């Protein structure tokens, strides 16, 4: 055996038979990799402890198989190390794999690991918790909370539970005052939702910035929804959805790019966010508490097994929130 790895396996993730899925993973990987297998349970989220134990034994790779919230937790121990991180996503939305262009089938994900090609990506810490994808506040956090395990089990591996939860959460839409402090500015406004993303799949429509996320540029992307009405949130969400899938939002009648004054963007290495009243916060699909939060980017902090991809084309992004001084009449002092 020329390679060793620790497999962190969550038997509760996804819709398939976990025993059959584990057998499939072992049949593909074990001929070439010496696997040390650990299981998580519903009562004990042992990802971080088990991963740290594996790192202490000197394995060459950590492989996590489960939903994307626990995948993020499992990767914490290998941040800023030479240990490669493998992802075999079996969760409901497969957001982690989708954001990093990793195959979402077991067979293809295992082959990606066996090929041994890695890509170094940014990670972040939000209130000292590891964050690979994004943190959501307000409407975004409420959506995740509504998409509970029962809904995921009922509708399977599609992102439909999140779409249904988003529609349901419109009935609870609330505005809140927010102060955003970055490296070089402080912004105070009123918002309905706010996300800070390190990486995000297209289905995370309120986390895309003006044209997608670059997950290895050393920066975090903040998107803020300033709409106050349900109709406005729907329009802004559709705009973001189009941006996520096409790279830009286009006006159908004219074919020209569209900008919205009710969606703001900001890029920075770190953010401190305070709200009034306090708002629920979701990190990588898990509700973790309430604001305030502080998020710091860790450039090139995680080495991930990933398919070979063409060089990323840099995406020029807005340097600030659009027309805030003109369009937003409310502010507050923290």
Render pLDDT for 156-199 as a digit per residue (tens, 0 to 9): 434 555 555 555 555 566 789 999 999 999 999 999 889 999 98
Q: Last residue of some domain: 83, 117, 151?
A: 117
Assign 205 a pLDDT band (cuts: 50, 70, 90). low
Assign 112 a pLDDT band (cuts: 50, 70, 90). very high
What would the mean pLDDT of 110-124 be, rounded to a whole number?
Answer: 95
Instruction: Please indicate, yes or no, if residue 37 is contained in any of the structural domains.
Output: yes
Instruction: Please indicate, yes or no, if residue 265 is contained in any of the structural domains.
Output: yes
76 and 137, same structural domain? no
Q: Is the pLDDT of residue 83 over 70?
A: yes
Instruction: Please indicate, yes or no, if residue 25 is contained in any of the structural domains.
Output: yes
What's the pLDDT at 80? 93
DSSP string across 21-73: HHHHHHHHHTTTEEEEEEE--SS---HHHHHHHHHHTT-SEEEEEE-HHHHHH
Looking up tokens 């079996």, which residue turns up?
Answer: 90
- CATH code of the domain containing 9: 3.40.50.10330
171 and 84, same structural domain? no
273 and 251, same structural domain? yes
| Euclidean distance between CA atoms 66 and 28, whole angstroms | 17
What's the pLDDT at 166? 56
Q: Is the pLDDT of residue 154 over 70?
A: no
Instruction: Please indicate, yes or no, if residue 306 is contained in any of the structural domains.
Output: no
209 and 175, same structural domain? yes
202 and 293, same structural domain? yes
Q: Last residue of some domain: 117, 145, 160?
A: 117
Q: Is the pLDDT of residue 87 over 60?
A: yes
- CATH code of the domain containing 136: 2.60.200.40
Question: CA-CA-CA-CA torsion for 90, 93, 97, 100, nearest 10 degrees?
Answer: -170
Consecutive H or E run containing 166: helix 160-169
Under 8 Å between Cβ of 233 and 192: yes
Instruction: Please indicate, yes or no, if residue 271 is contained in any of the structural domains.
Output: yes
197 and 135, same structural domain? yes
Instruction: Please indicate, yes or no, if residue 212 is contained in any of the structural domains.
Output: yes
Q: Count of domains in the chain? A: 2
Domain of 113, in residue numbers = 3-117
E strands present in 67-170: 84-89, 118-126, 129-131, 134-138
Return mean pLDDT, the chain: 76
What would the mean pLDDT of 286-295 be, rounded to a whole number?
Answer: 92
84 and 178, same structural domain? no
206 and 137, same structural domain? yes
Q: Which of 67, 75, 76 is nearest to 42 (CA)?
A: 67
Assign 324 a pLDDT band (cuts: 50, 70, 90). very low
70 and 155, same structural domain? no
Q: Is the pLDDT of residue 281 over 60?
A: yes
Q: Last residue of some domain: 60, 94, 117?
A: 117
The neighbour count for residue 177, using CB atoms within 10 Å, is 17
Between residues 89 and 285, the one the model is more confident about: 89
What's the pLDDT at 144? 61
3-state helix vs strand vs coil in the chain, percent to 5: 30, 30, 40
Percent of the chain with pLDDT over 70: 62
244 and 98, same structural domain? no
DSSP string across 196-210: EESS--TT-GGG-TT
Q: Which tokens go with 231?
A: 């109709």
292 and 161, same structural domain? yes
Instruction: Please indicate, yes or no, if residue 309 is contained in any of the structural domains.
Output: no
284 and 155, same structural domain? yes
**Per-residue pLDDT reduced to its tens digit, 227-242:** 555 556 655 555 555 5
């Amino acid at each position: 055996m020329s390679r060793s790895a620790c497999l962190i396996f969550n038997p509760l993730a996804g819709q398939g038979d976990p025993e059959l899925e584990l057998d499939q993973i072992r049949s593909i990987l074990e001929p070439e990799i010496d696997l040390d297998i650990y299981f998580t349970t519903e009562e004990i989220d042992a990802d971080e402890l088990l991963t740290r134990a594996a790192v202490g034994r000197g394995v060459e790779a950590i492989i996590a198989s489960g939903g994307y919230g626990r995948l993020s937790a499992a990767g914490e121990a290998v941040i800023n190390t030479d240990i490669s991180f493998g992802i075999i996503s079996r969760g409901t939305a497969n957001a982690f794999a989708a954001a990093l262009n990793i195959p979402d089938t077991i067979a293809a994900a295992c082959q990606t690991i066996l090929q041994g090609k890695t890509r170094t990506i940014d990670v972040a810490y939000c209130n000292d918790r590891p964050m690979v994808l994004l943190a959501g506040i307000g409407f975004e956090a409420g959506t995740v909370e509504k998409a509970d395990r029962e809904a995921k089990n009922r509708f399977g591996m599609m992102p439909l539970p999140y779409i249904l939860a988003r529609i349901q959460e419109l009935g609870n839409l609330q505005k809140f005052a927010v102060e955003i402090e970055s490296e070089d500015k402080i912004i105070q406004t009123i918002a309905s939702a706010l996300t800070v993303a390190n990486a995000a799949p297209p289905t995370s429509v309120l986390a895309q910035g003006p044209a997608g996320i670059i997950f290895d540029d050393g920066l975090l992307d903040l998107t803020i929804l300033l709409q106050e009405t349900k109709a406005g949130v729907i329009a802004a969400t559709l705009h973001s959805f189009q941006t996520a899938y096409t790279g830009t939002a286009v006006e159908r009648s004219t074919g020209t790019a569209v900008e919205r004054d009710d969606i703001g963007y900001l890029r920075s290495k770190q953010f401190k966010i305070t709200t009034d009243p306090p708002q629920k916060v979701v990190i990588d699909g898990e509700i973790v508490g309430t604001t305030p939060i502080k998020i710091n980017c860790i450039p090139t902090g995680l080495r991930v097994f990933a398919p070979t991809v063409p060089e990323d084309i840099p995406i020029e992004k807005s340097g600030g929130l659009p027309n805030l001084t003109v369009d937003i009449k409310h502010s507050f002092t923290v």
